[in-house]
Structure 1
Amino acid sequence: MTDITQTPRISGADIKGWIATPWTVIVLALLSVAVLDPGQFAAVASFAVRALLSTLPYIAFAVLLIAGLKAAGAESVIADAFKGRETKMIMMAALFGGLAPFCSCEVIPFIAGLLALGAPLSAVMAFWLSSPLIDPPTLLITAAALGWPFAIGKAVIAVALGLSGGFAIKAAMEAGWFSDPLRAVRQSRCGCGADPFSGRPVWRFWSEETRRATFRTELISNGVFLIKWLALAYVLEALLVTYVPADMIAGLVGGEGVVPIGIAALVGMPAYLNSYVAPPLLAGLMEQGMSNGAAMAFMIAGAVSSIPAMAAVWSLVRKPVFAAYLGLGVSGAIVSGILFQMVV
């Protein structure tokens, strides 16, 4: 007979996992305001709730779109971009990088398969640089938080950064650099789905039960994912607007010139904010005096140097290629910020 009197043992890893969830951070943040500054609790909470509610239509559309793409098997379309002449591959890889419906861990086996099939490093680099910056849900979330000009600007920059990085690597390899770019890696799957090179997309996915099941699973999981991270982002934005002095933000990354944009890019590199948390926080920073160019540089540098993006590159290529990826990403972020500031 099973002994039910024993108390289950809770490990430190379990406790750490619970504490690290966005829901726990949200509750602790609001509880801290309620205890330490009760007069501001209603303002902070209502700010976050109103912001989240205003974003719900964008979330709904984004979740439906990404679930449909996954159910249809749209990943196989992306693989077609890496066929043909190298120049064409770079252009298509940069373009499709912003449309790829991959989770962070799926990028690694996808790119590993491309490299194993002989896809040139230049095209792969174009995809690597553009894919962390924009995708359909990120475009909509950015538009909701920062407006369509900012969202469209980021999408254009994503493609431009992919193109410039891809052609830079192509020129470097023609000059004799990166002659042995790849690590000796053992290919493995992360469990996120089928082989992206297998099969063709089935756009009428609702006619097959397995694809309908995929649609339901992706709809729920992505919906919960977006809501929890955006709820955290809006709580943090409310705290930022309430407690961080505007003159401090304006003095650091406000105003015209290259210096604030460069500072924003360098600060954005180690600040790991996923593409759903960053736009609301940047909206708060811009309300406090952050310039448009600095906000764009922060967002671009943070996405390129995020942990999943860097892990995908580090796991497959040697150190010189990894350094080139970071250099292209950060310099591209600064140039993008300067150009966006001039245009806006």
Structure 2
Amino acid sequence: MHAREAPVGQLAAMAQEAVTVPELGALVSNEVAQWVPHEGYMLVGIDPLTGAGCFYAGQNGYSAAAVRLIARTDAAGGDAHRYSALIHGPRPVGVLSLGSSRYRDSRRLNEVMIAGGYGSEMRLVLKHRGLGWGALVLVRGLGDRPFSEDEAGHAARLSEPLALALKGFMAGRTLRPARPGRPPGVFVVAADGSVVGETESARHWLAEAAPMNMLVTCPARLDESLWCISVMAQHAARPVLSRIPAPTGWMALSAEPIAGSGRVAVVVRPATADMLLPTMAVLHGITDRERTVIEQLLTGLSAKQIARRLRMSPHTVNGHLKAIYRKIGVTGRDELMATFMS
């Protein structure tokens, strides 16, 4: 393993250079293939603060219908190696293969994998400091050898380096709200995953992410993203938010159950400053105190006024501001304000 650790160590830097999500997916797949050869892969970026998907890339992966079934069974908690169990469990990887007596009744094995021509699946959650940054699913065809325990061990050791790669990719996106120019878009998603209503601006908003993100450039993947966040909101019985990086800035995809209808309203709009600040904090290592200073700065207060309000010395506030500017990569207050307010 040690002879190959150098390329993995460079992966986060390489990921920052990727322009599109498909480029990132190909980079991750090629790197992982050194230890775990696979026929197909599916890479999902996850909003680390909410657990909702925010981008997708894949090749030779599951169909849209299969993804819907997986989302439903995962939310219900009734199948092997659920993402939530892997994120919070002692090991970030799980293998499901044809011939495994332990999981012979798995719906995913019988209705997704075997039906789709796959004989073995490896699920890996990408974790760093207790946060889930993504998930990688690798598959092999029927008749191919199943993923081994040794390969699962290699994958487990790649969880954090790959999480840092996804974090680096997201940190490299332009940190500002997506440009408006149209009203927020609204989709209404039925319990079966079908879109039963949408405003005129809805699909135009998601097209803002093209050509960077396969989640929205492929109509089937768009429907999957709406379905997955809808299932998540319905299961949680509360609103669910995902922040999505796009070429012109960050967008927000939020889902909320419509009471008594079994349907979910999904709203697509530019991410607000309140939405971006928590994301920026985890992406750039902003401390709680620094975040408080930014919150006050965004209200229009001067450094002296912030010092009085937070009972700090002006010297301490200016020290926090310098650290914030350095971490985010801006030159000063005006550029920071423009980042959030553009």
Give the alignment's TM-score, normalised by structure 2: 0.28
Q: Greater relative contact order (Cα 8 A, min sep 6): structure 1 or 2?
A: 1
Give the alignment's TM-score, normalised by structure 1: 0.28
More strand by share: 2
More helix by share: 1
